[in-house]
Amino acid sequence: MYEGKYILADLCICIRSLYDEVQQMCIDYRAPEEAQPDFIVETTPADIDAEREQSEQTRIEEGLPPYAFDAPYLETLAVYRQIATQCVSRKRILMHGSVIAVDGRAYMFTARSGTGKSTHVRLWRQLFGTRAVMVNDDKPLINLSLPEARIYGTPWDGKHRLSTNMSAPLQAICILTRAPQNTIREIRPAEAVPMLIQQTFRPEDTNLLLDTFALLDTLGKRVRFYLLGCNMDPEAAVVSSSAMIPR
């Protein structure tokens, strides 16, 4: 059994794992020795088996060929599932998306897998240069226990491992779609809800699921929402950032 304490979304979390991979993955988020855990997560072989079954089912649904993920990797998913579940009662949610901060303020792009979130954020990085910092490219945490929504980097940061151990006020969430021409418009939270629900971690526990929906309602009151139709040209970043970044 491996054990370590880490700070994620301003919570101290003790992780007890069967393999060392998740501990090494989280090493940049290590907590001070004296920090007291807000909660503990601990994995079992059954947790790893459940992640294997879910991964296999997801690949079938997405039309992908079978792939044998190894147990240490599957454990990283099981650990984050437990973390995301326990975070809900602490007013934090996990949302799938790519997040970039410009001049200290964060902007999140979310969409179905394969739509081009990471590509679009890369265009922002090219456009803004040193003004931009990559927060997280896959699974950030959003803290709604504060007066403003705040988003955090995490070690679960996608295949390119793009993240920073930082947080920033979340200004806007943009739903990204592919289109021949680059267009963007601000939308009401109600229009964004179906995609937000789809891209947010949803606990199996009914009460926690209801709490998650309540947190999404809170999120809708604190950030702006946009719908972006874009291609992969550099102009796409100019169009989206001109609308989303306050002047």
- Distance in angstroms (rounded) separating the CA atoms of residues 110 and 114: 11
**pTM of the complete model:** 0.95
Residue 177 φ/ψ, nearest 5 degrees: -130, 155
Beta bridge partner(s), residue 228: 176, 184
| Average model confidence (pLDDT) across the chain | 96
* pLDDT range class, residue 95, cuts 50, 70, 90: very high
On whether the CB atoms of residues 100 and 107 are closer than 8 A, the answer is yes
On whether the CB atoms of residues 23 and 43 are closer than 8 A, the answer is no
**Nearest by Cα to 133 from 102, 162, 161, 107:** 102
* pLDDT range class, residue 107, cuts 50, 70, 90: very high
Residue 12 φ/ψ, nearest 5 degrees: -95, 120
* pLDDT range class, residue 112, cuts 50, 70, 90: confident
**For residue 174, what are the contacts with CB-CB under 8 A and spacing of at least 6?**
107, 108, 109, 110, 184, 225, 226, 227, 228, 240, 244
pLDDT at 31: 98
Q: How far is CA 34 from CA 12, 41, 163, 187, 199, in A?
A: 11, 18, 26, 45, 35
The pLDDT tens digits of the residues spanning 160-213 come to 899 999 999 999 999 999 999 999 999 999 999 999 999 999 999 999 999 999
Q: Give the residue ranges of DSSP H helices in 30-140.
A: 45-61, 71-88, 117-128
**For residue 191, what are the contacts with CB-CB under 8 A and spacing of at least 6?**
225, 227
Set out the domains of the chain in order of their start, with CATH numbers: 2-88 (no CATH), 93-244 (3.90.228.20)
- Distance in angstroms (rounded) separating the CA atoms of residues 123 and 242: 13
Given a cut of 80, whether residue 247 has pLDDT beyond it is: no
Q: One-letter amino acid identity for 234?
A: P
**For residue 164, what are the contacts with CB-CB under 8 A and spacing of at least 6?**
133, 134, 135, 136, 153
